[in-house]
């Protein structure tokens, strides 16, 4: 199954980003710490050109901490500043703001800007990666509109965090075609694209196959499976039986079970899991 999703407003979002780039000093790219490769828009580098940018690996509370550490080191080796963060809590917020301000001032000083003013940063990322929640956490009140569905932010919003920092929230931006099947599945299981555009059961089976190999203990502990040797469709059926997701005649509702599995993964109920390692490259050139 090839998963694709590029709503009509994405083209408008791309145009908006290009228009506002000239007004900012720094681009803050928010990625999902569980899928740093798949949640990175491959078009972004071409869009921002030489504009300084830093990376925030958001949702680090849902990601494997050892893998997040490796990702931060990987970015550093490429000359990119990256930090892990959980935008749903206040812990570490002051340090993050300080990091952004210091990085912005450093970039501004290199351009020999004489007039003192706030660092202007643009926050970019794919839908549902937590951009607006990140800003709300930094401003400590619900200023930027948030939601649990992709594509909530529709237009530009400038928010003053401190006298030293102003942020521009932008709509989530995908790219026109996912060249890799793997990318599509990663975006689907993490909720970056609408559940209505793909087969829930097929994506859930893909996730089970991945977790059986990479995080088997998580599955065994969460769902009390006696073994993972069975086919993934049988494991999904067992889960549906345990949850009582039965249709007429006692047949398991696989779609309802699949959605429950995806929600467990997205909410961190399966533990802290990272689906991509730094050495893996899956975006097609």
Q: How confident is the model at residue 115 (pLDDT cuts 50, 70, 90)?
A: low
Percent of the chain residues past pLDDT 90, beyond the cut: 52
Mean pLDDT rounded to a whole number for the chain: 85
Confidence (pLDDT) at 152 = 38
Pick from 83-92, 138-147, 212-221: least confident: 138-147
54 has pLDDT over 80: yes
Confidence (pLDDT) at 113 = 62
Cα angle 179, 183, 186; round to 5:
165
Confidence (pLDDT) at 156 = 57
Q: What SS3 state is found at 62? A: coil
Name the residue with higher pLDDT: 279 or 221: 221
pTM of the model: 0.85
Q: How confident is the model at residue 2 (pLDDT cuts 50, 70, 90)?
A: low
Cα separation, 175 vs 30, in Å, equals 15
Instruction: Record the tokens describing residue 44, joined without a space.
Output: 């972004």
> Domains along the chain?
9-169 (3.40.50.300), 181-266 (1.10.1580.10)
Taking alpha carbons only, the member of 62, 84, 59 closest to residue 74 is 84
Q: What SS3 state is found at 268? A: coil
Name the residue with higher pLDDT: 51 or 209: 209
Confidence (pLDDT) at 124 = 86
Nearby residues of 70 by Cβ (< 8 Å), 6 or more positions away? 277, 278
Cα angle 159, 164, 168; round to 5:
25
The pLDDT tens digits for 152-196 are 344 456 788 888 999 887 766 655 456 688 988 999 999 988 898
148 phi and psi angles, rounded to 5 deg: -100, 15
Percent of the chain residues past pLDDT 70, beyond the cut: 83
Confidence (pLDDT) at 132 = 82
Q: Do the bridges between strand 119-124 and strand 26-32 make them parallel or antiparallel, or are there none, so unpaired?
A: parallel
């Amino acid at each position: 199954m090839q998963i694709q999703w590029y709503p009509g407003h994405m083209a408008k979002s791309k145009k908006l980003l290009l228009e506002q780039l000239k007004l900012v000093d720094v681009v803050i790219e928010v990625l999902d710490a569980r899928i740093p490769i798949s949640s990175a828009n491959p078009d972004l580098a071409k869009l921002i050109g030489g504009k300084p940018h830093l990376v925030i690996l958001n949702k680090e509370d849902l990601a494997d901490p050892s893998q997040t550490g490796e990702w931060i080191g990987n970015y550093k080796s490429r000359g990119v500043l990256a930090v892990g963060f959980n935008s749903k809590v206040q812990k570490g917020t002051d340090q993050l703001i300080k990091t952004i301000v210091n990085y912005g001032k450093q970039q501004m000083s290199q351009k020999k800007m004489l007039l003192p003013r706030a660092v202007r940063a643009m926050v970019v990322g794919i839908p549902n990666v937590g951009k607006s929640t990140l800003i709300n956490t930094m401003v400590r009140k619900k200023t930027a509109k948030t939601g649990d569905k992709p594509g909530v932010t529709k237009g530009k919003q400038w928010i003053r965090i401190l006298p030293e920092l102003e942020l521009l929230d932008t709509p989530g931006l995908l790219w026109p075609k996912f060249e890799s099947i793997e990318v599509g599945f990663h975006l689907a299981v993490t909720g970056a694209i609408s559940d209505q555009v793909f087969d829930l059961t097929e994506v859930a089976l893909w996730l089970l196959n991945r977790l059986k190999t990479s995080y088997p203990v998580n599955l065994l502990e969460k769902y009390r499976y006696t073994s993972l040797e069975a086919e993934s469709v049988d494991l999904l059926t067992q889960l549906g039986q345990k949850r009582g997701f039965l249709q007429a005649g006692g047949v398991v509702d696989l779609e309802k079970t699949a959605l429950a599995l995806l929600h467990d993964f997205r909410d961190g109920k399966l533990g802290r899991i990272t689906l991509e390692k730094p050495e893996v490259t899956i975006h097609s050139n």
